[in-house]
Structure 1
Amino acid sequence: MSHPRLDEVERVARATVTTLLSAGIRSCLVGGMACSIYGNSRVPNDVDIVCLTDKHTQEELKGILVANDINFYTIASKDPLATYRVLWYRLGFRRSCKVDVLLPGVMNIPPVPRRGWTIAGPTSFILGEKQHVDVRDIGELLDLAVEKYDVNVKRDGKSLPESFLRAAVTRMKAYVKSFPNSAEHWRDIGFHV
């Protein structure tokens, strides 16, 4: 299966947000789609969305999407020990886009204030097969944070939990150790390197 085009991923993101909202569930985009909205040039492969609810599990949220839009469907995980299903959105004949439904608290995602998120800053990098993509994304996001959005963690990060910011600092320091040329931009957005 080929990767979806940007217009297709945007369509999936809109359908996901709209379908959740029609069920009374607020949400916000994170990951590659959120980065794309803020100007990152890489086309995301999927849609990552945080649902702002504590009334449903991730599997229940997937069920809500499937029940309310015929283009959503789930398949069993490739991991035979997994207890979850993988959510997809049908784009056309043999073309689909994966949708990751997340909740605050999962993968260190902080609770989202009622007023919603504005720019939350760059994402963390992940070691492994996606590292080169993540490194490029982080570099581009750091440029955007400094040059286009005037992000400052000390000023803008007040609504983020302290535990989230501590984890971000730990990841940033590990990142700078591997990519020392990024240190100046991290300082520019308010991190002590």
Structure 2
Amino acid sequence: MNQRQPPAATAPAAQRRPRIKKSNAEKAASEQEHLSLVLSAAETTINILRQHKFPAAIFGSLACKLYGNSRCPKDADILVFPPSNDIEPEILKRLIVAAAPRLFYLKNARDPAATYRILWFRQSHPHRRRETKVDILVPGIMSLPVIPLSRIRWTSSLPLAPFPFILLHKLKGWADHRAAPETFKRVRQTTDAADVRRLLDIHAEMRVLQALPSWWTDPELFDEELQADSVVRVQQYCSEFPGRAERWRSLGFDVPEPDSVAVAVPS
């Protein structure tokens, strides 16, 4: 008769390392380090493109930062103006990698069906490798235009898309993420909304726009679809954040007065 064997001792569950909370000084230092990385990625990319006679402009969160937004950008978005329509972003990415293979590399997208690859910039570090993504885009998609070179603003040796362009495309990003079916995209709307709020608080840029009637109809920066959609998006934004409605009205948008019982929700 077999005796029942005692149950085997189970190995103790692996203990999680306690998360060490960073001090404000450490967070600031970490953000500054990452900002330096993103700026280096953008400047290196712009220099390679200029060597090949491709004008470009920075937009997205890095441009927001350079215009005065306090948030540190995660990566760099660069709009390139090729001389012909047959030069696609994938060609430009391969050109950049070939020009500086120690600094750039291409990585497959998460979606196995995707036909594009992602451009990454890397830097050596005493303790780890630092890297950041660089998005390369061309006119013709996402209502992106060929911005006249005379309207590009240079700051810190970097070319920036005009502020009105940055503002309305950040608003577009908020609306797109808000309506996205994917959860990981929808959560980004909070960051986008806050970016829009901070851009609206840059008083020097606001004064310029307030002096320009119907500036969002500028055909050099916005196609007809983006012009019409921006009017709707402003109303949606003000409906969700009534406390920002007055600022949009000061920019010339026809925003209905909020309900007297509505409570302003900070973005």
Please show how residues 70-81 of structure 1 align to structure 2 within 5 Å: 70=101, 71-81=103-113
Instruction: Tell me which of 221, 231, 236 is aligned to 1:174.
Output: 236
Instruction: Tell me which of 129, 135, 146 is aligned to 1:100.
Output: 135
Q: Which amino acid aligns with 1:100?
A: D
Question: Which protein is bigger by CA-based radius of gyration?
Answer: 2
Q: Which amino acid aligns with 1:50?
A: L
Identity between Structure 1 and Structure 2 (%)? 35
Residue in 1 that maps onto 2:17: none
Change (3 A) 1:116 1:67: farther
- Stretches of structure 2 lacking an aligned partner (at least 5 in a row): 1-29, 153-161, 179-185, 256-267
Please show how residues 1-193 of structure 1 align to structure 2 within 5 Å: 5-53=34-82, 54-70=85-101, 71-92=103-124, 93-117=128-152, 118-120=162-164, 121-122=166-167, 123-124=170-171, 125=174, 126-127=177-178, 128-144=186-202, 147-149=203-205, 150-152=207-209, 154=213, 156-157=215-216, 158=218, 159-160=220-221, 161-193=223-255
Q: In structure 2, how many angstroms separate the alpha carbons of the residues matched to 1:164 and 1:89?
A: 31
Q: Check the 8 A contact 2:41/2:121 in 1, yes or no.
A: yes
Deviation (angstroms), 1:185: 0.9
Q: In structure 2, how many angstroms separate the alpha carbons of the residues matched to 1:67 and 1:84?
A: 17
Q: In structure 1, how many angstroms separate the alpha carbons of the residues matched to 2:104 and 2:225?
A: 34
TM-score (norm 1): 0.90
- Deviating more after overlay: 157-166 vs 121-130: 157-166
- Stretches of structure 1 lacking an aligned partner (at least 5 in a row): none
Residue in 1 that maps onto 2:158: none
Q: Check the 8 A contact 1:109/1:164 in 2, yes or no.
A: no
Q: In structure 2, how many angstroms separate the alpha carbons of the residues matched to 1:6 and 1:29?
A: 14
TM-score (norm 2): 0.66
After superposition, the CA RMSD in angstroms is 1.9
Higher relative contact order, structure no. (Cα contacts within 8 Å, ≥ 6 residues apart): 1
Q: Which amino acid aligns with 2:39?
A: E
Which SS does the other structure have where 1:56 is aligned? coil
Number of corresponding residues: 190
- Residue by residue, what CA displacement relative to the aligned partner does 1:31-55 show, whole Å, maximum 9, x if unpaired? 0011011000000001001001234
Q: In structure 1, how many angstroms separate the alpha carbons of the residues matched to 2:80 and 2:115?
A: 20
